DNA sequence: AAGTGGTCTAGACCACAAG
DNA sequence: TTGTGGTCTAGACCACTTA
């Protein structure tokens, strides 16, 4: 293997992921080169390399076995949505060549008192101004999810119309002033109600898979909170847990 | 603060968690001492301290803000089940003083061909011997979940009866030969069927929250796979995601 | 015994927020 | 400017698996 120029961990993660997906790194048994080899190849210290490998482990792409080596993990099933990666849903699902589209979207300003739900650890005053967004989205042309999101207007002035129909995630990625630090997710199941029921073509009272997100800036301040209802026949959420 | 003896990261995490929960570490605003202070206090290197803090971040107990400091996060709602901690459900729920009990349990040996479901990345041969366990469990006396688990008999010879009615997790913790490395989780929602429906006192077709687990040894070999159906009115799953 | 990943230290420099 | 957390290096030793 040729020797590469030194790079930072973020880039290293991307390169590793790409080379793994292209099948360039692992042998026929899915075994990666040793850490020593990878250190020389990417010209990084062991610390940096292990940080990168740890991130790949956390995402479930590889696992490491002491005394044996590092191995790539088998591909996961297609219809699944990974709760832990760092992409928006649009980007994630685009990878295996499928497509999320927004068929209906609306936006308005409301106060916290008018919101349909509130963040879990709520410290909003009743008059906090919120941007409310409602969207219905399809997966490969089939109804897939109904979403209601609230963004704190004190943090983000407005959300461009294009982003509504594309990816709000992309908008934040490009906006340098807004750095997302962490997200709380609460997953539950409910009885479906209108208007999602008609959108999915299901009866009222049918199951729906619900994900409530609270999104925080890296400063720890609340940025947004949302609720997504999935068609239970089409959505599965994946996560991966390492033990320490 | 007194200076402590050097300790390893695992112990450090436990001590930090305990002192945080006792309110001994953070100030009135939930701010922790600086990394420099904590290094001296616990007598560890910055690397070790930051590994420990990263684990606490991953579990959602604290967050770190560059240029500002580290802060504890507000307590999460009680009825919630954290998907990311390293405890079994019995232990986790026992913390806030609530109680999981098993009201019905059965165990038998089956072959993989007879199993009701299989692991996602299935490489089991049809004649693989499995220990099948079925359990109905209550939370504070109320029906809470129905579980079906399969353990590879080639890895674990038998599961003692006491563990069936208590915590299988405890059994693995004590068994030094079995080290769990990682777990895949797939969360979905389904229409409820018997016998869970009667146990929960719900109609057939009502929603249920479903968690499918595949558990692997640290060697990467499959240990077990299971499916848990929760009463959708009583269960919420929590997870926390840091962005990189 | 050799090679793998796991833990840990000491130290440097950078990026960011706040006074 | 100061103090915070974020990134990165070089090097040591330990624990585990395999031959």
Q: Which of A4-8, A53-57, A225-229 has the lowest mean pLDDT?
A: A4-8
pLDDT value of position B168: 77
pLDDT value of position B37: 95
Mutate to test the interface with B, among A71, A180, A189 (most CBs of B within 10 A): A189
Q: Gap from A8 CA to D7 C1', in Å? A: 8
Whole-Å CA distances, B59 to A186, B9, B241:
14, 15, 9
Nearest chain B residue to A232, by CA: B189
Determine which helix (DSSP H) or strand (DSSP E) holds A39, and give its type and residue range: helix A35-42
Mutate to test the interface with B, among A77, A241, A242, A244 (most CBs of B within 10 A): A241
* Range list of β-strands (E), chain A: 62-65, 69-72, 80-82, 100-111, 129-139, 142-152, 180-191, 207-217, 222-231, 236-242
Confidence of residue A231 (pLDDT cuts 50, 70, 90): very high
Backbone angles phi, psi at A8, to 5 degrees: -90, 170
Residue A163 has pLDDT above 60, yes or no: yes
pLDDT value of position A31: 96
Whole-Å CA distances, B156 to B134, B172, B178:
17, 10, 8
Cβ atoms of B132 and B90 closer than 8 Å = no
- B203 at the A interface (CB within 8 A)? no
Strand D nucleotides within 7 Å of a protein CB: 3-12, 15-18
How far apart are alpha carbons B53 and B57 in whole angstroms? 6
Q: Which of A65-74, A220-229, B114-123, B127-136 has the lowest mean pLDDT?
A: B114-123
Nearest chain A residue to B235, by CA: A188
pLDDT value of position B135: 94
pLDDT value of position B3: 56
Helix and strand tally (H, E) in chain A?
7, 10
> What does the pLDDT profile of chain B (244 residues) look like in tens digits?
555 666 888 999 999 999 988 888 899 889 999 999 999 999 999 999 999 999 999 888 999 999 999 999 987 655 677 887 766 676 676 667 788 889 999 999 999 999 999 998 777 899 999 999 999 999 999 999 999 999 999 888 888 888 888 777 777 777 777 888 999 999 999 999 988 999 999 999 999 999 999 999 999 999 999 999 999 999 999 988 888 7
pLDDT (tens digit, 9 = 90+) per residue, A23-55? 888 998 899 999 999 999 999 999 999 999 999
Q: Gap from A70 CA to C4 C1', in Å? A: 9
Cβ atoms of B219 and A68 closer than 8 Å = yes
Strand C nucleotides within 7 Å of a protein CB: 3-12, 15-18
Q: Which of A87-101, A104-118, B198-212 has the lowest mean pLDDT?
A: A87-101
Q: Is the CB of B51 under 7 A from strand C?
A: yes
Burial class (CB in 10 A: 0-12, 13-18, 19+), B211: buried
* Mean pLDDT within A181-199: 94
Q: What's the predicted TM-score (pTM) here?
A: 0.91
How far apart are alpha carbons A25 and A33 in whole angstroms? 7
pLDDT value of position A123: 78
């Amino acid at each position: 293997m040729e020797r590469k120029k030194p790079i930072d961990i973020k880039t290293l993660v991307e390169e590793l992921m790409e080379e793994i997906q292209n099948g360039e790194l692992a042998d026929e048994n899915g075994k990666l080169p040793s850490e020593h080899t990878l250190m020389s190849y990417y010209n990084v210290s062991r610390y940096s390399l292990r940080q990168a490998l740890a991130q790949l482990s956390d995402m479930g792409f590889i696992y490491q076995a002491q005394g044996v080596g590092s191995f790539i993990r088998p591909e996961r099933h297609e219809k699944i949505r990974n709760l832990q990666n760092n992409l928006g849903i649009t980007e994630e699902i685009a990878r295996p060549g499928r497509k999320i589209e927004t068929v209906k979207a609306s936006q308005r300003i409301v106060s916290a008192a008018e919101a349909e739900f509130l963040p879990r650890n709520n410290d909003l005053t009743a008059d906090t101004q919120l941007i409310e967004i409602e969207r219905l989205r399809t997966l490969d042309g089939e109804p897939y999810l109904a979403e209601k999101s609230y963004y704190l207007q004190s943090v983000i002035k407005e959300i461009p119309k294009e982003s509504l129909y594309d990816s709000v995630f992309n908008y934040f990625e490009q906006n340098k002033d807004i750095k997302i630090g962490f997200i709380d997710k609460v997953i539950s199941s409910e009885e479906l109600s209108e208007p999602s029921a008609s959108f999915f073509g299901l009866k009222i009272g049918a199951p729906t898979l619900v994900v409530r997100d609270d999104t925080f800036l890296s400063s720890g301040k609340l940025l947004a909170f949302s609720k997504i209802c999935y068609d239970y026949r089409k959505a599965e959420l994946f996560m991966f847990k390492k033990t320490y």
